[in-house]
A and B are shown apart, each in its own frame.
Chain A
């Protein structure tokens, strides 16, 4: 492995970890005599963050520079664009997963269950009409009709218990507008 390639790899990793664009020095200079207000930004480090380094090109001549710079305010700021990127992408993926799961629960699962078991075996409970799980006891039918591996049964069982819980919560919060039953 040649030293050039090592150096390339190192600079690539460095770039990935800390974007050099993530620091800046921002100087705000208010209107002065007949010069308009202006904002200057530059990619300098903390020690160079002052009016003389950042304000380029200097709009006033030699003797006015100090008076002009006195009115300017320079601030050093840094951010982490990697954090922002990672956070937004994680948020969007979790949101997407939740939406897919919601679509699956409301639309796909009843269709799949209907196709697997046929209408006759499933009993539709009366108070679930208009709710999201018309086949609430599909789990019971499952455990009686097929001999499935235990793991899947447990997952189904846990899921049905959770859905019953959510249904209870929904009834009390959305329908009766109370939290406790």
Chain B
């Protein structure tokens, strides 16, 4: 490999795809000659599928390991299992018979830190219960700080690229840019280890974005096993698109949603072939995850809901209300988070990343511990909020007043609407506080220097809001069952309002408002919950939230971060505010030196080397002669340097004074002149050209659709200049800032 010291570089999609076509044609032609060649061609065809299989297996295994480790480490903050330190709370009490109906998680094998260290327990409040609470609180904070410190120091010491979500950078990579080291093996190891630590430290973040990064790292590493993918950057990006689908699939157990997420949010070019392969990889990963069985119930789905209660058209009103809330929350979150990240970049806050992580962890821990709904992790909170209350539940959220009738259970174990009891009122105000807390703390958590995702925190905010609204509607229906709205369908004694459904819809609305996902969100939600009946409410809420959020700002959180960090990403949907011509954007401009060209004959090796070394362009056009700039082709800098280097070493007689010849038939050299250096083979004889009067919109479209790196600009058939992707990005950035640009012909 040639020395790549710049961290980013564009790929030339057209060239890479034609390289792959040539390679494939060669294999296909050779395959008719011998059996070995035939086998080679068959194995080449299957290598793609084999790679997908391996990516799915590796990602599924890693995700299973991450889940198990995260569950264990999260519970480590609260106590220890005495029969085997590797069990988390739920598994410690798995076989115990001392669990009761009211206290489902209490057993003698699991002891909280207060019980281990001081022998006092929170249960017996009068005999040292306050001390026990204080000791537990302190140990919770100590563990949380320790995990956060380990996470940020490991990231800093070994792989700084492992911080953050990873999805904005992967979007940039998939659009054709190369970021060296972003998908390497150290990044993979550190991201896996520190993701567990970051999630367990109680911070308000999720693991979905980092799992996409982990899956893409696995794919990138496994690509090195197959020549077809190792050498071709365009083919590799097909695999990375599939890996992004795998990431979401293992995060949620939603393979179809993962594929749609990759299509909608992450990928730039997504041919149909990738669709089928992504689905295969996502299924393999989901199956691997299921066989590791991290949740202990062979369930793939994270927040499986058991209820199938029907919903009524009147409820579309509150669902749309939740959609509006989700849209407002999304717009607000994006503005606040980008402002906070900008503060981090420009002020002294950015000089102390480790301290920042510790302070935020301490703040989160101190405020989250007293409220039981913020103390439990995001995923657990969401499952509890999605759950519909039945006879079998004894949690505070299901603290309704008991009905006097002891008749058998209602429809499908669902209970009739009941008035709220004391437990439920307590849960409601705790949830309201949790909502405000989560809304504020997620703004400053996302973007820190630890792996962080934001699907689960956004869904948690939405689920809390939805549940509050659902319980409100339920009580409204109970106390006003005679009014016109409820009379038709909600008679007393019927189970008509399901607060769990409102929580689901709220979660979808908030996540849609933040990320602006549409189809993929709906599919993920119903794959997550198994509730196929609820597609219409989910769609209504998602659409409303997207429209409301789009009214405030066109970008989702990932595009906003791309723009904040200045990544070279060509937005597929952006339009120019002012129309301009290609002549305005191309190089050389009025004040620049003339275009550096090579003539097809008449330059010596020394002159060529001098020209190449005096500039840092990555390619040079080849013209017929200096007088008539008629275009012959385009040659890349590195190809030129390598060929000249090779020729000096191997070819006889090539010295500085040798003529460099790009034509097919060179004139015979004079007797005492050194032999010429023929370099027609490295010239691209079909470069893309546009005229100087082509509108910029069309040029940008050409760049987007074909994935070009540079394009030559001609005038009346003669070479005038060159326009590269970077010029276009700069022009788009300028256009946003609305600086007036003068047409060169007006000067």
Contact = CB atoms under 8 A, between A and B. Distances in A.
A24 B100 contact: no
B157 A179 contact: no
A39 B104 contact: yes
Interface stretch (A8-16, A73-81, A109-117, A121-129): A73-81
A33 B91 contact: no
B65 A179 contact: no
B449 A84 contact: no
Interface stretch (A88-96, A139-147, A150-158): A88-96
A105 interface: yes
A106 B157 CA distance: 9
B298 interface: yes
Contacts of A62: none
Given A83-B68, A84-B68, A89-B86, A95 B161 contact: no
Interface in A30-54: 30-33, 36-41, 43
Contacts of A181: 6-8
A24 B68 CA distance: 20
B86 A105 contact: no
A71 B7 CA distance: 64
Interface in B89-133: 91, 94-97, 99-102, 104
Contacts of B156: 170, 174
A174 B565 contact: no
Contact of A88 (B68, B96, B182, B186): B68
Given A24-B94, A79-B91, A39 B101 contact: yes
Most A CB within 10 A of own CB, among B154, B189, B196: B154
Given A174-B353, A174-B449, A85 B409 contact: no
A91 B101 contact: no
Interface string B333-347: 000000000001100
B84 A85 contact: yes
Contacts of B72: 84, 88
B740 interface: no
Contacts of A169: 159-161, 181
Contacts of B160: 166, 169-170, 172-174
A112 B454 CA distance: 44
Contacts of A60: none
A83 B566 contact: no
Interface residues of B, number: 62
A178 interface: yes
Nearest to A101: B158
Contacts, number: 142
Contacts of A24: 94-95
Contact of B99 (A39, A84, A98, A162): A39
Interface stretch (B289-297, B416-424, B495-503, B512-520): B289-297
Most A CB within 10 A of own CB, among B101, B193, B353: B101
B407 to A, nearest CB: 10
A1 interface: no
Interface in B160-190: 160-161, 163, 169, 179, 181-182, 186, 189-190
A166 B72 CA distance: 30
B86 A73 contact: no
B406 A33 contact: yes
B408 A71 contact: yes
A108 B711 CA distance: 53
A162 B156 CA distance: 14
A77 B293 CA distance: 11
Given A71-B409, A73-B392, A180-B7, A85 B565 contact: no
B209 to A, nearest CB: 15
Most B CB within 10 A of own CB, among A67, A75, A85, A132: A85
A165 interface: yes
Interface string B274-298: 0000000000000000001100111
Contact of B345 (A28, A81, A106, A177): A177
A102 B181 contact: no
B567 to A, nearest CB: 7
Contacts of B95: 21, 24, 41, 43
Contacts of B86: 84-85, 88-89
A87 interface: yes
A99 interface: yes
B84 to A, nearest CB: 7
A162 B163 CA distance: 18
Given A71-B408, A105-B157, A179 B567 contact: yes
A88 B102 CA distance: 30
Contact of A80 (B163, B293, B392): B293
Nearest to A75: B297
B695 interface: no
Nearest to A170: B160
Contacts of A43: 95
Contact of A28 (B91, B101, B153): B101
A178 B565 contact: yes
Nearest to A79: B296
A91 B196 contact: yes
Given A73-B392, A178-B566, A180-B8, A83 B292 contact: yes
A153 B644 CA distance: 31
A179 B84 contact: no
B391 interface: yes
Of all A-B residue pairs in the complex, the 3 with the closest CB atoms, nearest first, are: A37-B101, A88-B86, A30-B391
20 contacts: A24-B94, A32-B406, A33-B406, A38-B101, A39-B99, A40-B97, A73-B392, A73-B413, A84-B68, A84-B72, A87-B65, A88-B69, A88-B86, A94-B189, A95-B193, A173-B449, A175-B351, A179-B567, A180-B7, A181-B7
Given A102-B153, A173-B161, A180-B568, 15 more contacts: A37-B100, A40-B97, A67-B408, A70-B408, A79-B91, A84-B86, A88-B86, A98-B154, A98-B189, A102-B157, A106-B157, A174-B156, A174-B353, A177-B345, A179-B567
